[in-house]
Amino acid sequence: MKLLRYGPAGHEKPACIAPDGTTRDLSGVISDISSATIAPQMFETIRTTDVDGLPVIADPGRIGPCVGHPGKVICIGLNYSDHAAETGASPPSEPIVFSKAVTAICGPNEDVELPRGSDALDWEVELAVIVGREAKYVSEADAMDHVAGFALFNDVSERTFQTKREGQWTKGKSHDTFGPLGPWLVTPDEVADPHNLSMWLDVNGERRQNGSTSTLIFNVPTVVSYLSQFMTLKPGDVIATGTPPGVGMGMKPPQYLKVGDVMTLGIDGLGEQRQTVVAA
User: Domains in the chain and their CATH numbers?
Assistant: 2-53 (no CATH), 73-279 (3.90.850.10)
250 contacts 78 by C-beta, under 8 angstroms: no
75 contacts 240 by C-beta, under 8 angstroms: yes
Determine the 3-state secondary structure of 77 from DSSP.
strand
Closest CA to 262 of 272, 250, 251, 249: 272
Q: Is 64 exposed, middle or buried, given 0-12, 13-18 or 19+ CB atoms closer than 10 A?
A: buried
Percent of the chain with pLDDT over 70: 100
Determine the 3-state secondary structure of 42 from DSSP.
helix
The reported pLDDT for the residue numbered 144 is 98
The reported pLDDT for the residue numbered 7 is 98
For range 185-211, the mean pLDDT: 97
Average pLDDT, the chain: 96
Name 9's bridge partners: none
Residue 13 has pLDDT above 80, yes or no: yes
| Whole-angstrom distance, CA of residue 85 vs CA of residue 99 | 23
Residue 1 has pLDDT above 80, yes or no: yes
pLDDT in tens, 113-154: 999 999 999 999 999 999 999 999 999 999 999 999 999 999
Q: DSSP label at 86? A: H
Residue 168 confidence class, pLDDT cut points 50, 70, 90: confident
- The 3 state secondary structure assigned to 161-219 is HHHCCCCCHHHHCCCCCCEEECCCEECHHHCCCCCCCEEEEEECCEEEEEEEHHHECCC
Name 233's bridge partners: 135
Residue 74, CA distances (Å) to 32, 173, 205, 229, 232 in order: 22, 11, 29, 14, 12
Residue 23 has pLDDT above 80, yes or no: yes
Query: Under 8 Å CB-to-CB from 109, ≥6 apart: which residues?
Result: 62, 63, 180, 183, 273, 274, 275
For range 221-225, the mean pLDDT: 98
Residue 79 has pLDDT above 90, yes or no: yes
